[in-house]
Chain A
Amino acid sequence: MKNFTHIDAQSIEHTIPLLDYYARPLAGGTDLIPLMREGVWQPDRLVNLKPLADLHFLREAGDGLHIGALTTLDELDRSPLVRERYQALAEAAHSAASPQLRNMATLGGNLLQQVRCWYYRGPFNCWMKGGDHCPARSGENEHHAVFDQSPCVAVYPSDPPAALITLDASIRIVGPDGARSVKVADFLAPPDELHRVMHGLGLNELITEIVVPHTTARSLYLKAMDRAVWAYALVSVAVAGEVANGTITNPRIVLGAVANVPVRLGAVEALIDGQLLTDELIKEAGTMATHGMEPLAHNHYKLPLARNLVRQALRDLTGQRM
């Protein structure tokens, strides 16, 4: 690992000018430090954000839930407020990683987690790392994308952001030119030639908080894994909607681990909005969820899995048990 210096941040304002390609902010370190060990990233300096108390809070205000960027996944999972009103977020946080990691991992860092693709994390100079091709596309791609969104077929790995998108959350960002706010759904974007990351944060910007608007909708998060716990999603789904007498309104459905970004299923939402969720409609919704998916050689299973999870999520949301 390359040598680096480590300094404690004093304030948000003091931190911004320090940041650039070679000086990165450090939160829980659960992704940044392994990337440095593997030599994928080699910053000269880390600016430790943890002393910044004004990034570490969880409170409800008039416009909704405000989550400081340093809030840990464990805090989200354990918060009675989040558990009761923003269930999908609590469930997604709970489903991530292991208890030890959730104690360290922050929501801000989670939004920026780099892909877990085993080529990216191994001895391959793949496209995402600045190389010129993607060995996963025709290689061992059982954990990869079923939507073709960029030269890279890695899936966006984090769980909570899919829940945040169904809850219509925004991110507050501070940079040299002041603060801005962006929807999580817009913040996450497939990489392109010049911008080989899956998010839109500038090198000299900080995430300060995540805001989830008030909602009366019910929501939930389902995650399929290949063992009981401590695994990335094979496919996941976050759903939200208002349910009364078996009828759903304002549904929002987002699939995780199928593309470079969480995928919102607008057509499925339109199909069921305002409808009585009959068994037939739920089946149709599941089938429609896989439209446009183009599996690679080793991930065909993601189609039936996405279909099944969407159906199950709608059944669970409306309290129907199969």
Chain B
Amino acid sequence: MPKLIKSEINVEGRITEEYAVVDGDELAAWGENEELAIVGQPAPRIDGAAKTTGEARFSYDVQLPGMLYAKVLRSPHPNARVLRVDASRAEQLPGVVVVLTHETAPDIKVREGKLPLLPEDARFAGELVAAVAATDPDIAADALALIEVEYETLPFITDFTLALEGSAPKVRPNGNVVSQPSVTERGDLKAGLAVADVRVELTVRTPTAVHNALETHGCVAAWEGDQLTMYESSQHVYGVRTFAAKKLGLPVSKVRAIGTYMGGGFGAKFPGQPYSMVAATLAKRSRRPVHLMYDREGENLESGYRGASVQHVKLGAKRDGSLTAIELDGLTECGSYANWVVSLGGPYAMMYTCPNVKLTTTGVHTNIGPFQAFRAPGFVEGMVGLEQGMDLLAEKLGMDPLELRRRNLAKLDQSEDKPFSSFPVEECYRRGAEAIGWNKRKPTNDQSRSSERLRRGTGMASQIWWGGGGPPAYAEVQLNGDGTATVLTGAQDLGTGARTIFAQVAAEELGLELGSVGVTIGDTYAGPFGPASGGSVTTGSMTPAVRSAANDLRVQLCSIVAQLEDVPEEELEVRGGTVYRRDTPVSSVKSIMRKLGDVMLIGKGSRGPNPSDVSVVTSGAQFAEVEVDTVTGRVRVIKIVAAHDSGRIVNPQTFTSQIQGGIIQGLGLALTEQRVIDHRAGQILNPNLEWYKLPTVADIPEIVNLLIDIPDTKANSLGSKGAGEPGIIPTAAAIANAVANALGVRIFELPITPARVLEALETIA
């Protein structure tokens, strides 16, 4: 019987409590010594060939008969009122079918659930002012140039570090502080600082980092009568359906959302952004499908970023290293719109044991496009502050930085006073330290007087994050007439390999070969509800649902075979595509299904409830070795060793890809990536990949990913947790610590560019 429960939903650290309906009788978790044939084995992506040959169809690739192409007109001003829009010349351009302006846009509220689709108040350079659908993308672009807009330009502020000064122009009527600052407090901070034997104080800055997913934001909207199909590059296909139905006043049953393949999201592609409603409206008015995909500039101006941060940090500790106080006073850049504020304090609150803590994060509005969650929002930035503080503390105490961390590791979830279900950070430290050769690390102060051109340094940082997932999440598995199975779910694969591990879990539970299991994913008309892929939850939420559905199907299969062959059901078992009675083969699944003709067996499953007595987190550490060229100032990362606990590793190959991807993005934040704004003009100077510098293949070091692979049997029936975010969380902090170790001087502002290294070297020369 289904059971109704309340469950915490954690999307990128934003926690809400919601209802979920789960299976009454949950499967027992696969144990640590469970003999599994497919789960836990490396398997190449089942969609790898489709992607490498270009057969995989992304939203961008969707082509429908009669389809129009849309382009958007963006405000050139950082803050302006749209006084008048004259689209008549654009409308007359041959090939233009519909032009949408604030005067002709439907009454659909988008940003923050209350702002108009095409606002009259354009609060950042790049805000949507109008949109055109035409028979050809070049015609649409030409039409934009024919739209005349009269603006009243208004004072603006784009520098978040100055936006809280009294004289700063107000971005929003209520001022530039986003709602209330988020504060985490326990114990008595003052007292904790007072009893400390050693204190350190530091100010750390992290830059604005743009997701720059390879596939830009966008969708294709197509109506058939009163039914809408949205092909959207989204992290939540079911959310696209809910959003579109709600905003357009359609019954949910009339909306189909499809996101079969996706070129990356990293947190910036949750549903609810204006462009999808612009596309749906243009499609409705033109009665033709509309393709609206952003260009790289649109991606950089409007589609989100990790806000820059400033963190003032104080740490206090006893002579033996035990922390007595942690204080964080942090600012985070939010841009013009925000529903929430990232918590820079997360890692400070969770990673280490400390009785006296006060962590404040203030979100700041500016006249720049809105931020979006970006792979472990707040935690990546927070670790940069916390872990540099820990290294400074270790230096002051004359203690090995790793030892200091060992002594302070959290023993339980201090916010909820609950033990962790699993928290094998010691093991990650031990194996990581061994792999990097931590015992050969030179003390930091030794190197500032070195005359070597190339200086090497080693540093590390810890990781904590959620990632256990939870209900509601559903899957179905069908057994076909030829003995193959199909997994169906409305969950999506952002490019992480989710599709592949769903097949592995179903094959394992069903006793089929991996090659006999297909997966249909990312289509609300094909599979049941799957959760948003954010917060590293897809594995932890979905694989137990898939297993549960496959188990349901297996039970049905055994029952059918028992009836067919007149054997006792409890003695049947499926392995390698064959049904056995004890150890004797009865029949292959294939021949049984052939016999049954058009019969289809359908298994259904859902994700069970989360445990209530333990807190489920992912944890780990990374170790970085760098080489700094004192002639050019460039930092080269030589090696990163990663050791992360994500519970049971379903597929070491896709798991390692996730960790590598996180490390590469973390390396970008540490060394090369930063948005540059001319604050006098309120303009972003590098909304492109020429001056927004992503790491290239040549910048990527040797990455050693250690498989910790300890099933978290209390977390869910797979014992698996996510890996999307853990990999990025400690990277920048570890690199910053390694650079400080190499140079004997610390650079407190990321990215650590040649300019900053050279300037730092001049100060000690």
Contact = CB atoms under 8 A, between A and B. Distances in A.
A123 B683 contact: yes
* Most chain A CB inside 10 Å of its own CB: which residue of B138, B636, B693: B693
Contacts of B677: 140
B631 interface: yes
A262 B505 CA distance: 62
B1 interface: no
A85 to B, nearest CB: 26
Interface string B631-662: 11110100000000000000000000000000
A229 B685 contact: no
Interface stretch (B80-88, B480-488, B533-541, B755-763): B755-763
B683 A305 contact: no
B686 A118 contact: yes
Contacts of B695: 227
A148 B453 CA distance: 31
B754 interface: yes
B150 interface: no
A176 B76 CA distance: 43
A319 B602 CA distance: 74
A309 interface: yes
Contacts of B633: 224, 301, 304-305
Given A123-B683, A140-B676, A140-B678, A228 B636 contact: yes
Contacts, number: 89
A309 B762 CA distance: 15
Nearest to A223: B632
A51 interface: no
A227 B672 contact: yes
A119 B672 CA distance: 20
Interface in B318-357: none
Contacts of A119: 678, 685
B117 to A, nearest CB: 24
A234 B453 CA distance: 19
B138 A234 contact: no
Given A123-B683, A322-B453, A304 B699 contact: no
A4 to B, nearest CB: 13
Nearest to A305: B758
A124 B141 CA distance: 20
A301 B754 contact: yes
B294 to A, nearest CB: 16
B632 A308 contact: yes
B691 interface: yes
B761 A224 contact: no
A203 to B, nearest CB: 26
A139 interface: yes
Contact of A231 (B453, B693, B759): B693
Interface in B663-701: 671-672, 676-678, 680-681, 683, 685-686, 690-691, 693, 695-696, 698-699
A227 B138 CA distance: 34
Nearest to B668: A227
Contacts of A234: 632, 754-755
Contacts of A214: none
A35 to B, nearest CB: 13
Contacts of B758: 301, 304-305, 308
Interface SS of chain A: loop
B759 A301 contact: yes
Interface string A303-315: 0110011011000
A135 B762 CA distance: 28
A300 B759 contact: yes
Kindly state the interface size class of chain A when it binds its partner. 20 to 34
B698 A228 contact: yes
Interface string B709-737: 00000000000000000000000000000
A230 interface: yes
B559 interface: no
Contacts of A299: 755
B762 A305 contact: no
Which of B138, B677, B695, B754 has the largest count of A CB atoms less than 10 A from its CB?
B754
Interface in B449-465: 453
B634 A226 contact: yes
B676 A118 contact: yes
A227 B141 CA distance: 34
Interface in A282-322: 298-301, 304-305, 308-309, 311-312, 322
B683 A304 contact: no
A1 interface: yes
A122 B754 contact: no
Nearest to B755: A301
Contacts of B693: 226-227, 231
A322 B455 CA distance: 13
B632 A224 contact: yes
A118 B632 contact: no
B753 interface: yes
Contacts of A129: none
Contact of A140 (B632, B685, B696): B685
B699 A1 contact: no
Contacts of B753: 226
Given A228-B636, A229-B696, A139 B678 contact: yes
Contacts of B685: 118-119, 122, 140
A229 B755 contact: no
Contacts of A229: 696, 698-699
B754 A123 contact: no
Interface in A1-38: 1
Given A118-B676, A301-B758, A322-B453, A227 B691 contact: no
A123 B76 contact: yes
A225 interface: yes
A139 B684 CA distance: 12
A56 interface: no
A190 to B, nearest CB: 23
Contacts of B759: 300-301, 304
A172 interface: no
Nearest to B76: A123
A116 interface: yes
B762 to A, nearest CB: 6
Given A1-B138, A230-B696, A234-B755, A225 B634 contact: yes
Contact of A122 (B632, B672, B683, B756): B683
Q: Most chain-A CB neighbours within 10 Å: which of B671, B755, B761?
A: B755
A18 B579 CA distance: 80
B631 A142 contact: no
Nearest to B686: A118
A1 B295 CA distance: 15
A135 B671 contact: no
A298 B695 CA distance: 23
B632 to A, nearest CB: 4
A305 B634 CA distance: 11
Nearest to B754: A226
Contacts of A300: 759
Contacts of B632: 224-225, 234, 305, 308-309
A223 B759 CA distance: 18
A231 B686 CA distance: 14
A51 to B, nearest CB: 26
B699 A118 contact: no
Nearest 4 pairs of A and B residues by beta carbon: A228-B698, A301-B755, A224-B632, A118-B685
Interface of A: 1, 116, 118-119, 121-124, 135, 139-140, 142, 224-231, 234, 298-301, 304-305, 308-309, 311-312, 322
Given A226-B755, A229-B699, 17 more contacts: A116-B690, A118-B686, A135-B680, A139-B681, A142-B755, A224-B634, A225-B634, A226-B753, A229-B698, A234-B755, A298-B755, A299-B755, A305-B754, A305-B758, A308-B630, A309-B631, A322-B453
Interface of B: 76, 138, 141, 453, 630-634, 636, 671-672, 676-678, 680-681, 683, 685-686, 690-691, 693, 695-696, 698-699, 753-756, 758-759, 761-762
12 contacts: A118-B676, A123-B683, A124-B683, A139-B680, A140-B685, A226-B755, A228-B634, A234-B754, A305-B633, A308-B630, A308-B758, A322-B453
